[in-house]
């Protein structure tokens, strides 16, 4: 009695696969062509290319150091899930536009796409982009940055390895040396 449903699911899965492949193919050409004024926003929210962009922007914001970076903490996958299940259509468009704007900024400043530039250049791009958008109180960018932050610092890795988290503190100690506590608390 479920055959109808599972058939539909299979068909949807196939279609999703097709979209994924198309996105992948488009990505190869787009990365060499995108110029100021062009956009990659005309497609599903996460084509392979835009997901790659999301991964590298997140990792540039919160890179691997002595602890895991955004990718290893699962931030890009978290944001993809949030946009699919939590965000409104408006948010999906806004966040996609932020990613595209970073890519455009990379092209206009350095004449190459974000994904093909060296890591130091990516950092330069994000420093400039972040400073300008924060100074402008840009709501879409703040929402994006918040997604990266919550994705990282509220992940198990971010909360327990980068910061400090006790599910059950068991006590309140009101005033003690920071060195004794260690790092900032992951929850507030």
Partner 1 sequence: MDFDAIVIGSGISGGWAAKELCERGMRTLLIERGRHVTHRTDYQDFAAPWELPHRGQVPEDEVRRDYAIQSAGDTFNSATRQWWVKDSEHPYLTPEGREFRWLRGYHLGGRSLTWSRQTYRFSDIDFGANKKDGHGIDWPIRYTDLSSWYDRVEVFAGVSGNSEGLEQLPDGRFLKPMDLNCAELDFKRKLEASHPSRRVTIGRCAHLTEPTAEHIELGRGACQMRSVCERGCGYGGYFSTLSATLPAAQRTGNLTVVTDAIVETLEYDHGKRRISAVRVVDAKTRQRRSYQARVVFCCASTIPTAQILLNSKSEYFPKGLANRSDQVGRNLMDHVHGVGAIGHVPGFLDRYYYGRRPTGILIPRYANVTEDAQGEYTRGWAFHGRGDRPTWNRAAEMAGVGATLKARLREPGPWQLALSGTAEMLPRADNRVTLHGLERDAWGMPLVHIDCTFGKNELELAAQANKDALDMLLAAGCTDVRPLFPRLSPPGASVHEMGTARMGHDPSTSVLNRHNQAHDVPNLFITDGSCMTSSGCANPSLTYMALSARAANYAADRLASGEL
Longest dimension (CA), the chain: 65
Query: Using CB under 8 A as the criterion, what x/- string covers residues 91-110 for binding partner 1?
Result: x-------------------
Instruction: Compute the distance between CA of residue 123 and CA of residue 21 in angstroms, rounded to an integer.
Output: 30
Question: In the complex, what is the shortest distance from the CB of residue 21 to partner 1, in angstroms, rounded to a whole number?
Answer: 29
Closest to partner 1 by CB, 1 vs 176, is 176
Chain centroid to CA 111: how far? Answer: 23
28 lies in the site for partner 1, by CB under 8 A: no
Q: What single string gives the DSSP state of each residue in 65-83?
A: SSS--TTTTTHHHHHHHHH
Q: What single string gives the DSSP state of each residue in 19-36?
A: HHHHHHHHHHHHHHH--T
Closest to partner 1 by CB, 43 vs 63, is 63
Nearest Cα to Cα of residue 143 among 73, 88, 65: 88
Stretch that binds partner 1, among 33-41, 93-101, 103-111, 180-188 (CB under 8 A): 180-188
The site that binds partner 1 (CB under 8 A) totals a number of residues, namely: 57
Question: In the complex, what is the shortest distance from the CB of residue 151 to partner 1, in angstroms, rounded to a whole number?
Answer: 8
Residue 43, SS3 per DSSP: coil
116 lies in the site for partner 1, by CB under 8 A: no
Residue 140, SS3 per DSSP: helix
Chain residues that interact with partner 1, rule: CB under 8 A: 60-63, 65, 67, 78, 81-82, 85-88, 90-91, 123, 126-127, 130-131, 134-135, 142, 145-146, 149-151, 153-156, 159, 162-163, 165-179, 181, 183-188
């Amino acid at each position: 009695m479920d055959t109808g449903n599972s058939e539909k699911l299979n068909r949807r899965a196939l279609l999703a696969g097709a979209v994924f492949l198309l996105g992948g193919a488009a990505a190869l050409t787009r990365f060499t062509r995108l110029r100021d004024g062009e956009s990659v926003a005309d497609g599903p929210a996460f084509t392979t290319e835009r997901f790659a962009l999301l991964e590298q922007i997140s990792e540039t914001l919160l890179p691997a150091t002595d602890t895991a970076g955004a990718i290893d903490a699962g931030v890009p996958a978290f944001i993809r899930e949030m946009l699919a299940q939590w965000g409104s259509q408006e948010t999906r468009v806004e966040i996609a536009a932020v990613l595209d704007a970073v890519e455009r900024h990379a092209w206009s400043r350095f004449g190459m796409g974000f994904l093909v530039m060296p890591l130091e250049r990516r950092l330069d791009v994000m420093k400039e982009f972040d400073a300008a958008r924060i100074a402008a109180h840009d709501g879409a960018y703040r929402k994006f940055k918040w997604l990266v932050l919550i994705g990282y610092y509220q992940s198990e890795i971010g909360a327990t390895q980068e910061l400090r988290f006790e599910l059950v503190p068991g006590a309140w100690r009101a005033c003690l040396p920071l060195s004794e506590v260690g790092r900032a608390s992951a929850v507030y």
